Chains A and B, each alone.
Chain A
Amino acid sequence: MIETPVRFKSTADIETFSRSLRDRTDSTTKLVRVCIGTGCAAKGSRRLYELFCEAVKQSDLDVRVEAKCVGCHGFCERGPIVVVEPGEILYQRVEEPDVAEIFRETVLGGRVVQRLLYEDPDTGKRAEKADEIPFYNVQKRIVLGGNGRYNPTKITDYITEGGYSALAKVLSSMLPEDVISEVELSELRGRGGGGFPTGRKWRSCRAAKGFPKYVICNGDEGDPGAFMDRSIMEGNPHSVIEGMLIGAYAIGSEQGYIYVRNEYPLAVEHLRMAISQAQEMGLLGRNILGSSFSFDIKINRGGGAFVCGESTALMASLEGRTGEPRAKYIHTVESGFRGKPTNLNNVETWANVPHIINKGGEWFAGIGTEKSKGTKVFSLVGKVVNTGLVEVPMGITLRQVIDEIGGGVRDGKGFKAVQTGGPSGGCIPSEHLDARVDFDELTKLGSMMGSGGMIVMDEDTCMVRVARYFTEFLQKESCGKCTPCREGLSQMLYILDRITDGEGQVGDVERLESLAKLLESTALCALGKTAANPVISTIRYFRDEYDAHILERHCPAKECRGLFRYEIDADACKGCGICLKNCPVGAISGENKVPHTIDQEKCTLCGACWEKCPFTAVLKV
């Protein structure tokens, strides 16, 4: 909580308060920032924070030390992350026994603990600061800039670094029309996947007839493999609130909603605290900063339905109904939530707004490509060395993201494909790795940028299984209202099951393509319309895998059980007999110290031998 209750009565109050906070900050204070984003917290970072707090309490009172918990830094692969100031020394993979050493050596002694620094896997060079690490220095962290610096549960941190100054600027010197013009100038496009020009959306909503008008933040990030919005909501909730305030002012709305996915409890908690603190300080509520503008925000948690990320389904859910989308022949900016003009934007879209106001639309439009401006946050996950969250300017190539930031494919395996755009997107193979990432380029290749999920797949991944995975996901998440999505996805899944079980029939690929076309043309909502993308893009680039499954009953990636064999490499086999002992059907034979063999007739393909062999002499063929 804030020590001295403050309530801002005018726009000048914020600047004064912010300055006073900055003046109060003692530059000689040493600071330890511990990441408590979900990823690091899962590895015990909260305990690290507690230990640092204890160390601070017991330390010499001559040296001022503060321990602070902060939001996700993005380098999840290397968590838990701890940063020490001054010097911005970044420690990775910190464990409980390390706390005492860090405190003694770095915090008090000003010395660096080498072994906890990031080490470049190729050169062996150790990096002290974040910007010495390729993972970070290729990034341009605008939206994520606050993560890792502010304590998300303290509004004063946000204000000290200039937070809510964009709101002050808007309320003191801009008309709603000016705000919309600035956002139009920036050419910001929706970050949730649709990519609709934000300024145009705000303008239509402002012009729509009807009262009251609503502003909604879509925090129902459901794409598997995506956690960008989670990190923004957890690590910098005020950026979203400030964005919504500015948008509401521009559109003429007094009530906003943030719809957060049920599976993000920390995000809900941090947003609740942020809203409550903003209300206390008069930044939410009536007559904000002494103006005639009033606005407040409610939080709703989802009930567990991916389809509620679709805007009309989200609004239905907010109305206390089942999350079923409806036709969009009449747009939601005209008639949305409760039949009133509603402006819905994604978390990341809202978080960009304060920066656009502060630095100008022209500044924003100076980053990115011709039709896709600004930066985009991606979750880079899967078979890549550095998994985590990255923010890069639009137009960077896939190769740069995966190799320079991601460190390439892990375990020395070959790159096969990168899946982008979640279940609405597709897989992109190596020949297109130099494609520039933005709204339009990836769509031309049969995928889409979507909300920012990037899943790297290696040579051991069966692309037909990937298609089956996404189809099953969508079939389970389909609301079931319209025929093509409900029935069509089931029929597609039935065919894909056949193929991965080794019972594919000639013509199955054509059947899948025909169903895909039907879904795209007749489904009611975007979930159904794009549901066949994973199947179509894998057919486009990996047709040979489908053919192998169907015509040869063989899985080239050796993932589909029953569609590949196990064989023992006679050169590698030491004849230790472990596989023989573990085989449940006695299919392996061989004398001690002599290379063993597998009787293919008896083998049930259980894989036990492959798992147990200590010499990796069992091969999948």
Chain B
Amino acid sequence: MAKENELVEQIIDRYAADTGMLIPMMQDIQAECGYLPADQLRSLASRLDVPLSRIYAVATFYTSFRLAPKGLHDVTLCMGTVCYLKGAPKICEAISKEFRVEPGGTTRDRLFSLQAVNCVGACALAPVMIVDEKYYDGVTPESAVEVLRSLRPAEEPETKESAS
């Protein structure tokens, strides 16, 4: 408990308790914890003297915030116009079907979190998939699924993965 309050204290100091910097503060919490834990947000609310309902409103308004832990890997699918025209929805479908995860969610084994964003600005490479900051260009439903399959650690004969 003490450690968690420490994080919020640190972050509030970093921004001189300026409530206008609420979003950067929350981004920092998420960078540290991987998501926005409820008790961190409660601490933030009480220390900044900002209603918890307002912090919750901000946490649920912006798509980059996660209220649940994320996966080991970050997978982003671009759904910008050009990628869309070149088949991005089919790629998304294939991934959802294979790994049972929807955009905005995390696979049950926490292997990766899937996000669909609007245009990453690399339109010449459409369709684009980004895995942990590595760009994959011209992906197809098959190649995308392959890349994600290869994220699983090699030594996995029968593990909890097989349950999914």
**Which residues of A come within 8 Å of B, CB atoms?**
38-39, 41-43, 76-77, 79, 221-227, 230, 262-264, 300-306, 317-323, 338, 379, 381-383, 387-388, 419, 455, 457, 461, 469-470, 473, 477, 479
**CA–CA, A221 and B135, complex, Å:** 20
**CA–CA, A306 and B61, complex, Å:** 11
Across the interface, do B121 and A473 meet the contact criterion of CB distance under 8 Å?
no
Across the interface, do A303 and B62 meet the contact criterion of CB distance under 8 Å?
yes
Interface string of B23-47 (1 = CB under 8 A from A): 1101100000000000000000000
Across the interface, do A323 and B120 meet the contact criterion of CB distance under 8 Å?
no
Chain B residue at smallest Cβ distance from A223: B119
Across the interface, do B123 and A387 meet the contact criterion of CB distance under 8 Å?
yes
Across the interface, do A473 and B58 meet the contact criterion of CB distance under 8 Å?
no
The residue that B64 contacts in the complex, of A79, A222, A303, with Cβ under 8 A, is A303
Across the interface, do A43 and B54 meet the contact criterion of CB distance under 8 Å?
no
B44 CB to nearest chain A CB (Å): 11
**CA–CA, A305 and B58, complex, Å:** 11
Q: Does B65 lie at the interface of the complex (its beta carbon under 8 Å from any beta carbon of A)?
A: yes
Q: Does B5 lie at the interface of the complex (its beta carbon under 8 Å from any beta carbon of A)?
A: no
Q: Given A42-B122, A225-B119, is A304 in contact with B82 using a C-beta cutoff of 8 Å?
A: no
Q: State which of B14-22, B106-114, B145-153 sits at the interface with chain A.
A: B14-22
Interface string of B96-121 (1 = CB under 8 A from A): 00000000000000000000011111
Across the interface, do B119 and A226 meet the contact criterion of CB distance under 8 Å?
yes
Across the interface, do B122 and A224 meet the contact criterion of CB distance under 8 Å?
no
Q: Does B85 lie at the interface of the complex (its beta carbon under 8 Å from any beta carbon of A)?
A: yes
B128 CB to nearest chain A CB (Å): 8
B47 CB to nearest chain A CB (Å): 14
Chain A residue at smallest Cβ distance from B135: A42
Interface residues of B in 140-160 (CB under 8 A from A): none
A218 CB to nearest chain B CB (Å): 16
11 A–B contact pairs at CB < 8 A? A225-B123, A227-B122, A230-B121, A303-B62, A320-B19, A320-B21, A320-B23, A322-B57, A382-B85, A419-B81, A470-B81
Q: Does B137 lie at the interface of the complex (its beta carbon under 8 Å from any beta carbon of A)?
A: yes
Q: Cβ of B26: which chain A residues have Cβ within 8 Å of it?
A: 303
**Which residues of B come within 8 Å of A, CB atoms?**
19-24, 26-27, 50, 54, 57-58, 61-65, 79-82, 84-85, 117-125, 128, 135, 137
Across the interface, do B20 and A320 meet the contact criterion of CB distance under 8 Å?
yes
Q: Cβ of B124: which chain A residues have Cβ within 8 Å of it?
A: 39, 76-77, 79, 381, 387-388
**CA–CA, A320 and B19, complex, Å:** 6
Across the interface, do A224 and B118 meet the contact criterion of CB distance under 8 Å?
yes
A260 CB to nearest chain B CB (Å): 12
Chain B residue at smallest Cβ distance from A75: B124
Chain A residue at smallest Cβ distance from B123: A381
The residue that B58 contacts in the complex, of A79, A263, A321, A387, with Cβ under 8 A, is A321
Across the interface, do A382 and B81 meet the contact criterion of CB distance under 8 Å?
yes
The residue that A224 contacts in the complex, of B22, B50, B81, with Cβ under 8 A, is B81
**CA–CA, A263 and B62, complex, Å:** 12
Across the interface, do B81 and A225 meet the contact criterion of CB distance under 8 Å?
yes
Q: Cβ of B118: which chain A residues have Cβ within 8 Å of it?
A: 222, 224, 306, 473, 477
Chain A residue at smallest Cβ distance from B126: A381
Q: Cβ of A76: which chain B residues have Cβ within 8 Å of it?
A: 122-124
Across the interface, do A303 and B123 meet the contact criterion of CB distance under 8 Å?
no
Across the interface, do B62 and A301 meet the contact criterion of CB distance under 8 Å?
no
Q: Cβ of A230: which chain B residues have Cβ within 8 Å of it?
A: 121
Across the interface, do A323 and B81 meet the contact criterion of CB distance under 8 Å?
no
B21 CB to nearest chain A CB (Å): 6
Across the interface, do B65 and A303 meet the contact criterion of CB distance under 8 Å?
yes
The 10 A-B pairs of least Cβ separation, nearest first, read A303-B62, A320-B22, A227-B121, A42-B135, A304-B64, A224-B80, A304-B63, A224-B119, A76-B124, A381-B123
Chain B residue at smallest Cβ distance from A322: B61
Chain B residue at smallest Cβ distance from A469: B84
A380 CB to nearest chain B CB (Å): 9
Across the interface, do A455 and B122 meet the contact criterion of CB distance under 8 Å?
no
A231 CB to nearest chain B CB (Å): 8
Q: Cβ of A455: which chain B residues have Cβ within 8 Å of it?
A: 81-82
Beyond contacts A224-B84, A455-B81, A473-B118: 6 other A-B pairs, Cβ-Cβ < 8 A, are: A230-B121, A320-B23, A321-B54, A381-B81, A381-B124, A383-B85
Chain A residue at smallest Cβ distance from B76: A263
Q: Given A300-B23, A382-B81, is A39 in contact with B61 using a C-beta cutoff of 8 Å?
A: no
The residue that A303 contacts in the complex, of B23, B54, B125, B137, with Cβ under 8 A, is B23
**CA–CA, A143 and B150, complex, Å:** 43
**CA–CA, A302 and B26, complex, Å:** 11
B107 CB to nearest chain A CB (Å): 21
Across the interface, do B23 and A305 meet the contact criterion of CB distance under 8 Å?
no
Q: Given A76-B123, A303-B65, A320-B19, is A43 in contact with B137 using a C-beta cutoff of 8 Å?
A: yes
Q: Which residue among B24, B117, B124 has the maximum number of chain A CB atoms within 10 Å of its CB?
A: B124
Across the interface, do A39 and B82 meet the contact criterion of CB distance under 8 Å?
no
B54 CB to nearest chain A CB (Å): 7
Chain B residue at smallest Cβ distance from A320: B22
Q: Cβ of A473: which chain B residues have Cβ within 8 Å of it?
A: 118
Chain B residue at smallest Cβ distance from A455: B81
A364 CB to nearest chain B CB (Å): 27
The residue that B61 contacts in the complex, of A43, A227, A303, A382, with Cβ under 8 A, is A303
Chain A residue at smallest Cβ distance from B128: A42
B6 CB to nearest chain A CB (Å): 22
Chain B residue at smallest Cβ distance from A227: B121
Q: Cβ of A303: which chain B residues have Cβ within 8 Å of it?
A: 23, 26-27, 58, 61-65
B108 CB to nearest chain A CB (Å): 24
Q: Cβ of B23: which chain A residues have Cβ within 8 Å of it?
A: 300-301, 303, 317, 320
Chain A residue at smallest Cβ distance from B55: A320
**CA–CA, A305 and B124, complex, Å:** 23
Q: Given A76-B124, A300-B24, A301-B24, is A323 in contact with B61 using a C-beta cutoff of 8 Å?
A: yes
A461 CB to nearest chain B CB (Å): 7
Q: Cβ of A77: which chain B residues have Cβ within 8 Å of it?
A: 124
Chain A residue at smallest Cβ distance from B65: A303
The residue that A227 contacts in the complex, of B63, B84, B123, with Cβ under 8 A, is B123
Q: Which residue among A43, A320, A323 has the maximum number of chain B CB atoms within 10 Å of its CB?
A: A320
Chain B residue at smallest Cβ distance from A419: B81
Q: Cβ of B85: which chain A residues have Cβ within 8 Å of it?
A: 382-383, 457, 461
Q: Given A303-B62, A304-B63, A305-B61, is A379 in contact with B123 using a C-beta cutoff of 8 Å?
A: yes
**CA–CA, A262 and B121, complex, Å:** 12
Q: Cβ of B79: which chain A residues have Cβ within 8 Å of it?
A: 224
Chain B residue at smallest Cβ distance from A264: B121
B101 CB to nearest chain A CB (Å): 18
